[in-house]
Structure 1
Amino acid sequence: MRVAVCDDELLAVERLVRMLGRIDGIRVEGTAQNGRDALALVARTSPDAIFLDIEMPALDGFDVVEALAANPGAATPPLIVFVTAFPQFAAHAFDTGAIDFLIKPVRFSRLETAVGRLRDVRDQRDARRRLSELADQLDTLRAEGREIGTPANEIWVHRRAERVRVDLDEVELVRAEGEYVRLFIGSQSFLHRASIGSIAARLDPGRFMRVHRSYVLRLDLIAKIRRKAAGGYTLVLTHGEEVPLGRLYRADLLKHANKSFTPS
């Protein structure tokens, strides 16, 4: 299998190339340190796959994918494996058509797994379909979802190769994770690119409240408010989980809950 590596960190490139050299049947066709050079490298060598960093100046990894997908007349596009130091990208990037998603520093055993997946997909000869799927999700990966025609209490989230409709009225807890939020419904959770403030604004204020800069929860899940020995408060939920209560949100919570929760 012929591969390319693109990362703006030279040491990361060198390390990944060394590890790839230890895997039988892998030949590194070339390396690049920015998105423009990556596109030129792909055009010149037509690799089967590219290990692509997301965070790069000028053209980032998402831009590279978009440019490849916008050129359907070109040779068979490379399969994509994203590589990044920021795990908050993982859920969406892995679930939208990229073959794999590696977190730096990449472990050799994890790299072997990614190469195995690349070989499986290459054998299926569906690189173009997967690249198209990935390109379709770039807006979701880059910015807060803009759901045209979606009811105010619903959003669409990406999970693997599908889109799932989430009823915000069923959400129990929202947790901020970098540029994303994780929506918890029962035993399930969904990662969605949006700010926690934008999600909070779409929730029923009579049932939900922001209790911390990183948390919004459904009020009926609160069992009690516990004072911490070191100061501050924690919310104990009905299933036993504890959520921090931000100082700026405590007064509003007690007022909204009609002071039915007594600190303990």
Structure 2
Amino acid sequence: MQPLSCLAVDDEPLALSHICGHIERTPFLRLAGRYTNALEALHALRAQPVDLLFLDIHMPELTGLELARLLEPAGVTGTAPRIVFTTAFQQYALDGYKLDALDYLLKPFGYEEFMRVALKAQRYAAPPAPVPAAEAADSFILKVESQLVKVRFADILYIEGLRDYARVHRRGELKPLMALSSLRALEERLPAEQFMRIHRSFIVNLSCIEAVSRLSVQIGATHVPIGMQYKDEFGEFLKTWLAE
């Protein structure tokens, strides 16, 4: 896999040197350019798109958030880079996520925190691991770190969505599997008669429900919340569950 090409943009020379130094010492990253002005970076991206953009938020003329909006899909570069915002103000993290930023680094940050984000970018850029064309009727294959793990549907208690990952809780296992997948993608691969999404962040194995309250279901010692938008669909299941 080729190194990820990176552009760094920050109007503070020391901060810019700091981020560029981290990029240059990371083997799977390649520094393609450095700019103290977002407008100059915009012109550079028009000429040569990159894989990853480290972008300060507070800058004159054009802020990092404004530049990011111009680089959204179908924007000026055709293929938008993944963006990592660098900022001294934590409150801007929400704005970054609204723009589908990969992550953000809160200044001042060290190489350990930088590497966490760089590895995340590398995972996104890596080609997907091969998955068997036809999965067994009673299981599926999950990508967990660098491995492919076969998980039986009957062993799943519930699944919790965590942005870019899904935490799969299984019978008899204290530690859940951290699968590199969105909750929606997993939902599409699960048998609908056995699993139901009852909250924007949770899918449950219907056969594992032990008790139901107005706001949650109980699976073992865990109370899984029921989201408002899922109450009607779950209510239909509950009629059948009570009749059994």
> TM-score, normalized by length of structure 1?
0.45
> TM-score, normalized by length of structure 2?
0.48
